[in-house]
Structure 1
Amino acid sequence: MNLNPYLSFRGTARAALEFYHAALGGTLAIDDFTAFPDMGIDPSETHLVMHGQLTTAEGLVLMAADTPSSMPYAAPAGISVSLNGDDEARLQAAWDSLTDGGTVVMPFEVPPWGGRFGMFTDRFGIDWMLAVNAPPQ
Protein backbone atom coordinates (compact mmCIF):
# COMPACT_ATOMS: atom_id res chain seq x y z
CA MET A 1 0.00 0.00 0.00
CA ASN A 2 0.96 3.63 -0.49
CA LEU A 3 -0.10 6.80 1.24
CA ASN A 4 0.28 9.91 -0.91
CA PRO A 5 -0.81 13.52 -0.65
CA TYR A 6 -3.57 14.27 -3.19
CA LEU A 7 -4.10 18.00 -3.48
CA SER A 8 -7.29 19.63 -4.75
CA PHE A 9 -7.31 22.93 -6.60
CA ARG A 10 -9.83 25.13 -8.35
CA GLY A 11 -8.24 25.80 -11.73
CA THR A 12 -4.58 25.95 -10.69
CA ALA A 13 -3.57 22.27 -10.49
CA ARG A 14 -1.52 22.36 -13.71
CA ALA A 15 0.46 25.43 -12.61
CA ALA A 16 0.96 23.94 -9.14
CA LEU A 17 2.15 20.58 -10.49
CA GLU A 18 4.56 22.29 -12.91
CA PHE A 19 5.87 24.42 -10.03
CA TYR A 20 6.38 21.35 -7.81
CA HIS A 21 8.04 19.54 -10.72
CA ALA A 22 10.49 22.41 -11.22
CA ALA A 23 11.24 22.45 -7.48
CA LEU A 24 11.51 18.71 -6.83
CA GLY A 25 12.39 17.21 -10.21
CA GLY A 26 11.14 13.80 -11.23
CA THR A 27 8.54 12.77 -13.76
CA LEU A 28 5.28 14.65 -14.22
CA ALA A 29 2.18 13.14 -15.84
CA ILE A 30 -0.97 15.21 -16.33
CA ASP A 31 -4.32 14.10 -17.74
CA ASP A 32 -7.04 16.65 -18.32
CA PHE A 33 -10.76 16.13 -18.70
CA THR A 34 -10.59 16.14 -22.53
CA ALA A 35 -9.53 12.47 -22.34
CA PHE A 36 -12.75 11.63 -20.44
CA PRO A 37 -15.68 13.21 -22.34
CA ASP A 38 -18.29 11.02 -20.61
CA MET A 39 -17.64 12.62 -17.21
CA GLY A 40 -20.11 15.42 -17.98
CA ILE A 41 -17.64 18.24 -17.38
CA ASP A 42 -18.62 21.62 -18.84
CA PRO A 43 -16.80 21.98 -22.19
CA SER A 44 -15.22 25.24 -20.97
CA GLU A 45 -13.46 23.27 -18.21
CA THR A 46 -12.14 20.23 -20.08
CA HIS A 47 -8.64 21.75 -20.00
CA LEU A 48 -8.60 21.32 -16.20
CA VAL A 49 -6.48 18.61 -14.61
CA MET A 50 -8.44 15.41 -14.00
CA HIS A 51 -5.37 13.74 -12.48
CA GLY A 52 -1.75 14.78 -12.17
CA GLN A 53 1.11 12.88 -10.60
CA LEU A 54 4.67 13.90 -9.80
CA THR A 55 7.03 11.03 -9.00
CA THR A 56 10.61 11.82 -7.97
CA ALA A 57 13.74 9.69 -8.21
CA GLU A 58 13.61 9.32 -4.42
CA GLY A 59 10.18 7.72 -4.71
CA LEU A 60 8.13 10.70 -3.55
CA VAL A 61 4.65 10.81 -5.09
CA LEU A 62 2.51 13.95 -5.09
CA MET A 63 -0.88 13.89 -6.81
CA ALA A 64 -3.25 16.73 -7.65
CA ALA A 65 -6.40 17.58 -9.58
CA ASP A 66 -8.72 20.47 -10.30
CA THR A 67 -12.25 20.43 -8.95
CA PRO A 68 -14.65 21.51 -11.71
CA SER A 69 -17.20 24.22 -10.90
CA SER A 70 -19.99 21.62 -10.97
CA MET A 71 -18.51 19.98 -7.86
CA PRO A 72 -18.17 21.42 -4.35
CA TYR A 73 -14.72 22.68 -3.46
CA ALA A 74 -13.06 23.71 -0.22
CA ALA A 75 -9.47 24.92 -0.14
CA PRO A 76 -7.16 22.55 1.77
CA ALA A 77 -6.97 23.44 5.46
CA GLY A 78 -5.66 21.78 8.57
CA ILE A 79 -3.11 19.61 6.77
CA SER A 80 0.49 20.07 5.60
CA VAL A 81 2.62 18.30 3.05
CA SER A 82 5.72 17.14 4.95
CA LEU A 83 9.07 16.64 3.25
CA ASN A 84 11.95 15.39 5.35
CA GLY A 85 15.19 13.46 5.12
CA ASP A 86 18.91 13.46 5.76
CA ASP A 87 20.11 15.32 2.64
CA GLU A 88 20.35 18.89 3.92
CA ALA A 89 21.50 20.33 0.58
CA ARG A 90 18.56 18.69 -1.26
CA LEU A 91 16.07 19.91 1.34
CA GLN A 92 17.54 23.43 1.30
CA ALA A 93 17.16 23.50 -2.50
CA ALA A 94 13.55 22.32 -2.17
CA TRP A 95 12.90 25.00 0.47
CA ASP A 96 14.43 27.71 -1.71
CA SER A 97 12.29 26.69 -4.69
CA LEU A 98 9.00 25.90 -2.97
CA THR A 99 8.92 29.07 -0.84
CA ASP A 100 9.25 31.28 -3.95
CA GLY A 101 6.09 33.39 -4.01
CA GLY A 102 4.84 31.82 -0.79
CA THR A 103 4.71 32.87 2.85
CA VAL A 104 7.23 31.58 5.36
CA VAL A 105 5.49 30.73 8.64
CA MET A 106 8.58 29.42 10.47
CA PRO A 107 12.09 29.91 9.02
CA PHE A 108 14.11 26.85 8.01
CA GLU A 109 16.36 26.85 11.06
CA VAL A 110 17.64 24.60 13.84
CA PRO A 111 14.78 23.74 16.22
CA PRO A 112 15.25 22.63 19.86
CA TRP A 113 15.24 18.94 18.81
CA GLY A 114 18.07 19.39 16.28
CA GLY A 115 18.29 19.05 12.54
CA ARG A 116 16.49 21.83 10.69
CA PHE A 117 12.80 22.60 10.40
CA GLY A 118 10.61 25.16 8.69
CA MET A 119 7.02 25.78 7.67
CA PHE A 120 5.47 27.79 4.84
CA THR A 121 2.39 28.22 2.69
CA ASP A 122 3.26 28.02 -0.99
CA ARG A 123 1.98 30.34 -3.70
CA PHE A 124 -0.97 27.97 -4.31
CA GLY A 125 -2.15 28.00 -0.70
CA ILE A 126 -0.72 24.61 0.27
CA ASP A 127 0.92 24.34 3.71
CA TRP A 128 4.29 22.58 3.87
CA MET A 129 6.71 21.44 6.57
CA LEU A 130 10.34 20.65 5.68
CA ALA A 131 12.74 18.94 8.05
CA VAL A 132 16.33 17.78 7.98
CA ASN A 133 16.50 14.84 10.35
CA ALA A 134 18.49 15.42 13.51
CA PRO A 135 21.70 13.38 13.61
CA PRO A 136 21.61 10.32 15.89
CA GLN A 137 22.77 11.04 19.43
Structure 2
Amino acid sequence: MGSQANPCIVFNGDARQAMEFYLEVFGGDLQVGTAADFGSPDSADGDKVMHARLDTAAGYTLMAWDFPEARPGHPAYRPGNNVAVFLGGDDAELRGYFEKLSAGGVVTLPLEKQVWGDEAGSLVDRFGISWMVNITNQ
Protein backbone atom coordinates (compact mmCIF):
# COMPACT_ATOMS: atom_id res chain seq x y z
CA MET A 1 0.00 0.00 0.00
CA GLY A 2 2.89 2.44 0.56
CA SER A 3 2.46 5.69 2.38
CA GLN A 4 -0.64 7.83 2.53
CA ALA A 5 -1.68 11.02 4.25
CA ASN A 6 -5.01 11.16 6.05
CA PRO A 7 -6.40 14.15 7.88
CA CYS A 8 -6.79 13.69 11.61
CA ILE A 9 -9.14 16.39 12.81
CA VAL A 10 -9.06 17.63 16.40
CA PHE A 11 -12.40 18.45 18.05
CA ASN A 12 -13.31 20.03 21.36
CA GLY A 13 -15.54 17.28 22.76
CA ASP A 14 -17.79 16.64 19.74
CA ALA A 15 -15.62 14.29 17.66
CA ARG A 16 -18.19 11.49 17.85
CA GLN A 17 -21.00 13.75 16.58
CA ALA A 18 -18.79 15.13 13.81
CA MET A 19 -17.67 11.70 12.64
CA GLU A 20 -21.26 10.40 12.69
CA PHE A 21 -22.21 13.39 10.54
CA TYR A 22 -19.36 12.63 8.12
CA LEU A 23 -20.55 9.00 8.01
CA GLU A 24 -23.98 10.29 6.89
CA VAL A 25 -22.31 12.44 4.22
CA PHE A 26 -19.81 9.92 2.82
CA GLY A 27 -21.07 6.50 3.92
CA GLY A 28 -18.59 3.79 4.79
CA ASP A 29 -17.38 2.25 8.04
CA LEU A 30 -16.88 4.24 11.25
CA GLN A 31 -14.83 3.00 14.22
CA VAL A 32 -14.79 5.06 17.42
CA GLY A 33 -12.76 4.40 20.55
CA THR A 34 -12.94 6.49 23.70
CA ALA A 35 -10.14 7.21 26.14
CA ALA A 36 -11.75 4.71 28.50
CA ASP A 37 -11.77 2.07 25.72
CA PHE A 38 -8.02 2.54 25.45
CA GLY A 39 -7.55 2.16 29.21
CA SER A 40 -7.08 5.79 30.23
CA PRO A 41 -7.24 6.12 34.03
CA ASP A 42 -8.31 9.79 33.68
CA SER A 43 -12.06 9.78 34.30
CA ALA A 44 -12.37 13.40 33.04
CA ASP A 45 -11.41 12.26 29.53
CA GLY A 46 -13.04 8.79 29.68
CA ASP A 47 -15.93 9.54 27.30
CA LYS A 48 -13.85 11.61 24.89
CA VAL A 49 -12.87 10.11 21.56
CA MET A 50 -9.26 9.01 21.58
CA HIS A 51 -9.35 7.67 18.03
CA ALA A 52 -12.04 7.65 15.37
CA ARG A 53 -11.56 6.44 11.84
CA LEU A 54 -13.99 6.68 8.95
CA ASP A 55 -13.18 4.64 5.86
CA THR A 56 -15.60 6.03 3.29
CA ALA A 57 -17.35 4.28 0.44
CA ALA A 58 -15.30 6.43 -1.99
CA GLY A 59 -11.99 5.33 -0.46
CA TYR A 60 -11.26 8.38 1.71
CA THR A 61 -10.04 7.96 5.27
CA LEU A 62 -10.84 10.60 7.87
CA MET A 63 -9.59 10.35 11.44
CA ALA A 64 -10.47 12.38 14.52
CA TRP A 65 -9.99 12.74 18.24
CA ASP A 66 -11.19 14.98 21.07
CA PHE A 67 -8.74 17.45 22.53
CA PRO A 68 -7.80 16.35 26.07
CA GLU A 69 -8.39 18.42 29.17
CA ALA A 70 -5.84 21.21 29.59
CA ARG A 71 -2.51 19.93 30.86
CA PRO A 72 0.72 21.78 31.67
CA GLY A 73 2.78 22.30 28.54
CA HIS A 74 -0.03 21.28 26.20
CA PRO A 75 -1.17 24.00 23.79
CA ALA A 76 -4.73 25.28 24.11
CA TYR A 77 -7.45 23.87 21.84
CA ARG A 78 -7.81 25.67 18.52
CA PRO A 79 -10.64 25.02 16.05
CA GLY A 80 -9.77 23.34 12.76
CA ASN A 81 -9.41 26.51 10.72
CA ASN A 82 -5.67 25.88 10.39
CA VAL A 83 -6.33 22.82 8.22
CA ALA A 84 -8.65 22.27 5.27
CA VAL A 85 -9.72 18.87 4.05
CA PHE A 86 -9.33 18.80 0.27
CA LEU A 87 -11.56 16.63 -1.91
CA GLY A 88 -10.61 16.58 -5.58
CA GLY A 89 -11.25 14.55 -8.69
CA ASP A 90 -13.67 14.14 -11.55
CA ASP A 91 -16.38 12.33 -9.59
CA ALA A 92 -19.87 13.86 -9.71
CA GLU A 93 -20.40 12.65 -6.11
CA LEU A 94 -18.23 15.59 -5.01
CA ARG A 95 -21.16 17.97 -5.67
CA GLY A 96 -23.34 15.99 -3.28
CA TYR A 97 -20.61 15.95 -0.62
CA PHE A 98 -20.27 19.72 -0.93
CA GLU A 99 -24.02 20.21 -0.51
CA LYS A 100 -24.25 17.87 2.50
CA LEU A 101 -21.18 19.28 4.21
CA SER A 102 -22.51 22.83 3.86
CA ALA A 103 -25.71 22.00 5.79
CA GLY A 104 -25.55 24.10 8.96
CA GLY A 105 -22.21 25.54 7.87
CA VAL A 106 -21.01 28.50 5.83
CA VAL A 107 -20.13 28.37 2.13
CA THR A 108 -17.06 30.57 1.71
CA LEU A 109 -16.78 30.03 -2.06
CA PRO A 110 -19.79 28.70 -3.99
CA LEU A 111 -19.16 25.51 -5.94
CA GLU A 112 -18.89 26.90 -9.48
CA LYS A 113 -16.55 27.10 -12.46
CA GLN A 114 -13.31 28.86 -11.56
CA VAL A 115 -10.73 30.69 -13.68
CA TRP A 116 -8.56 27.56 -13.96
CA GLY A 117 -11.45 25.75 -15.64
CA ASP A 118 -12.47 23.39 -12.84
CA GLU A 119 -15.56 23.60 -10.69
CA ALA A 120 -14.44 24.43 -7.15
CA GLY A 121 -15.79 25.70 -3.86
CA SER A 122 -15.02 25.88 -0.18
CA LEU A 123 -16.96 25.86 3.04
CA VAL A 124 -16.71 25.67 6.79
CA ASP A 125 -18.94 22.91 8.14
CA ARG A 126 -21.09 23.15 11.26
CA PHE A 127 -18.18 21.83 13.34
CA GLY A 128 -15.80 24.60 12.20
CA ILE A 129 -13.83 22.40 9.79
CA SER A 130 -12.74 23.93 6.47
CA TRP A 131 -13.35 21.91 3.29
CA MET A 132 -12.24 22.57 -0.28
CA VAL A 133 -13.76 20.74 -3.25
CA ASN A 134 -12.33 20.75 -6.76
CA ILE A 135 -14.09 18.91 -9.60
CA THR A 136 -11.74 18.52 -12.56
CA ASN A 137 -13.02 19.82 -15.88
CA GLN A 138 -13.44 16.84 -18.21
Output the TM-score relative to the length of structure 1.
0.90
Off by >3 Å, runs of 4+ in structure 1: none
User: 1:15 matched to which residue of 2?
Assistant: 17
**Aligned positions of 1:66-105 closer than 5 A:** 66-71=66-71, 72=75, 73-88=77-92, 90-105=93-108
Contact 1:86–1:132, Cα closer than 8 Å, also in 2: yes
Equivalent residues, number: 132
- Backbone CA RMSD of aligned residues: 1.3
Q: In the aligned structure 1, how far is the partner of 2:38 from the partner of 2:7?
A: 23
Q: 2:110 aligns with which of 92, 104, 107?
A: 107
1:55 maps onto 2:58 in alignment: no
Does 1:28 find its partner at 2:30?
yes
Identify which of 125, 132, 135 aligns with 2:135.
Answer: 132
Task: State the TM-score, normalizing by the size of structure 2.
Answer: 0.89
Question: Structure 2, unaligned stretches of length 5 or more?
Answer: none
Hey, what's the Cα distance between the residues in 1 that align with 2:52 and 2:38?
14
Q: Structure 1: which amino acid aligns with 2:87?
A: L
Q: Give how far 1:87 is off.
A: 1.4
Take 2:22 and 2:105, find their aligned partners in 1: how far apart are those partners?
13
Distance 1:58 1:83 in 2: 11
